[in-house]
Amino acid sequence: MEGASAERRTGRGGAGGRGAMTTEPVLETAPADAPGDAPDGRPPGGRLRRALPAAAAAVLVLAGCGFFYAAHQERSAAPARNQALTDTEATSRVAGEVGNALARIFSYTPDGTEAAERSARTVLDGRAARQYETLFARVRDDLTEQRVTLSTRAVRTGVIELDGDEARLLVFLDQTSHRGSDKGKGKGENATTTTAAAQLTVTARLQDDRWRIVDLKAR
């Protein structure tokens, strides 16, 4: 798969998932002023700490706006015959089927990767199917050994272009990975939890009255 991971936020116990490395942001600060330098006599650090949560919330809002702006821009540049602009029912259908398919093929337990792989055989085709097979062949043993459980949700799905039996979409995934040794549930004293966001450009094709994913690219 062409890199489907983006920023990773580490939960309990540090990085988990499929061996991905996480780093914590480092904020460089100038030397502290002497006491009393601030106009109100309070240490500047207090105001900085209060400002950080608001700044983080603003970043998340801007990220969501950026997602919809990108989808709108690409959709606006598509050909005039783009049904994503006119056929609400068909657009909703392809968005729903593709979002559900991605959630199924990227969700598994250490003892249940077979279910994800079976789903992949029904919803993937062409290059996307080959990408997925290569990925699982590489990580299957590690998933079982490290007791990895992955849960994936498609939190936003935008149809950029819909032309007959072919569609191009922008999909934002939210993934939670647990790694541990407690009966494959990813819980226990040594368990770790990692969350990650992935943004994908997806090409889907309607085959036998079902939308199948034929290409996946990370953005």
> Contact at 8 Å (CB) between 197 and 3?
no
Is the pLDDT at 22 greater than 70, yes or no? Answer: no
Mean pLDDT of the chain: 74
| Alpha carbons 37 and 44: distance in angstroms, whole number | 9
Give the distance from CA 3 to its chain's centroid: 11
| Alpha carbons 95 and 172: distance in angstroms, whole number | 12
Q: Tokens 């990813």, residue? A: 186
Question: What are the residue ranges spanned by the domains of the chain?
Answer: 8-20+46-218
User: Quick one: pLDDT at residue 58?
Assistant: 39
Structure tokens at 185: 């549930």
Say which residue, 82 or 74, is predicted with more confidence.
82
Structure tokens at 89: 């029912």
The single-letter DSSP state of residue 106 is: T
Q: 8-20+46-218 adopts what CATH topology? A: Nuclear Transport Factor 2; Chain: A, (3.10.450)
Is the pLDDT at 66 greater than 80, yes or no? Answer: no
User: Quick one: pLDDT at residue 146?
Assistant: 87
**pLDDT digits over 146-180, tens only?**
889 999 999 999 999 999 999 999 999 999 999 87
**pLDDT digits over 118-148, tens only?**
999 999 999 999 999 998 888 888 888 888 9
